[in-house]
Amino acid sequence: MTIYKSIIIALFIPFIGIAQVDLDSELFLELEKMDTLLFEEGFNNCSKEAMEAALSEDLEFFHDNGGITKGKPAFITSFLTNMCDANKKPIRKLVPESLTVFPLRENGTLYGAIQKGVHEFFIKEPGKELYKTQVAQFTHLWIKEETGWKISRVLSYDHKAPETDTKGITVPIEVLTRYAGNYKAPQTGNIIISIKEGVMHLDAGEMQTDLITKSSILFAHPQAPIELKFVSNPDGSIKKFVVLENGKVVEEAQRIER
């Protein structure tokens, strides 16, 4: 059996008889270091040199949303083109204690390893705090080449929005109904706030979603780092709401009718 066939079997058949190595083992620590090189230096800091050092020439990258990329040059070019915008830079963080490593041997000789884990992705924008956008699982196939460990196959899958508090607190329906009506904002345009089955609903063109109740005046988007804070007139009627992104005011929507 060729090494390549062994790789395919190891990737897609359950780990029968392949034991996970200890977290303090030499193999685990070596590949943990390579993960740091690939992501902390390569991905997060857009280091082409770090990417070159960690990737195999015959790299194949499989993404559940982005398709297949073959070859190190094609992968690095795609990465530098799409992931290195300083105004909106994706940042990857490994979920603590999620990393596991399984050795691959042929005739008793270590030739590679499978590394699995969970990572989170954030967006970094100038003047803003990092905000989380996705959580995903990964499976990496590392091959021990003459020049060191190189990642040969990448499976990046189960991408989903980060878990959020979808329940919030309970506010009397009489309070919620005060906010129902039409609003207008300079950038977003017309916005409709309605109450459906005791939950505030936002309709702003392409953005339509139920909101999470944080307090009697504060409501949050279930996935994006956006909150709506309502402001009242002296007589208690609703004047407007301000839109906060990562805690900072980015827009105001004036109420135009109930």
What pLDDT sits at residue 44? 96
Q: What is the pLDDT of residues 112-138, one digit of tens each?
A: 999 999 999 999 999 888 888 889 999
Q: Which of 29, 50, 30 is nearest to 39 (CA)?
A: 50
Percent of residues, the chain, with pLDDT higher than 70: 90
Of the CA atoms within 13 Å of residue 116, those in its CB half-sphere come to 11
Do β-strands 89-94 and 207-210 pair in parallel, antiparallel, or remain unpaired? unpaired
Distance CA 60, CA 179 (A): 52
Q: What is the pLDDT of residues 241-254, one digit of tens each?
A: 999 887 788 999 99
Distance CA 69, CA 61 (A): 5
- Which residues lie across from 230 on neighbouring strands? 241
Q: Which amino acid is at 122?
A: F
Q: Residue 62: CB partners within 8 Å, gap ≥ 6?
A: 68, 153, 154, 155, 156, 157
Q: Which of 174, 177, 153, 67 is nearest to 104 (CA)?
A: 153
Q: If you average pLDDT over residues 100-105, what whole number do you get?
A: 95
Distance CA 18, CA 9 (A): 12
Q: Has residue 8 got a pLDDT over 70? A: no
Distance CA 195, CA 173 (A): 8
pTM of the model: 0.61
Q: Has residue 52 got a pLDDT over 70? A: yes
Distance CA 47, CA 212 (A): 39
Q: How many C-beta atoms lie closer than 10 Å to residue 82's C-beta?
A: 10
What pLDDT sits at residue 14? 47
Q: What is the pLDDT of residues 133-173, one digit of tens each?
A: 889 999 999 999 999 999 999 999 999 877 655 567 888 89
Q: What is the pLDDT of residues 185-235, one digit of tens each?
A: 998 899 999 998 889 999 998 888 999 998 889 998 887 778 999 999 988
DSSP string, the chain: --HHHHHHHHHHS--SS-PPPPTTSHHHHHHHHHHHIIIIIIITTT-HHHHHHHEEEEEEEEETTTEEEESHHHHHHHHHHHS--TTSEEEEEEPTT--EEEEEEETTEEEEEEEEEEEEEEEE-TTS--EEEEEEEEEEEEEEETTEEEEEEEEEEEEEPPP--SS-----HHHHHTT-EEEEETTTEEEEEEEETTEEEEEETTEEEE-EE-SSSEEE-SSSSEEEEEEE-TTS-EEEEEEEETTEEEEEEEEEE-
What pLDDT sits at residue 164? 57
The residue among 236 and 105 whose pLDDT is bigger is 105
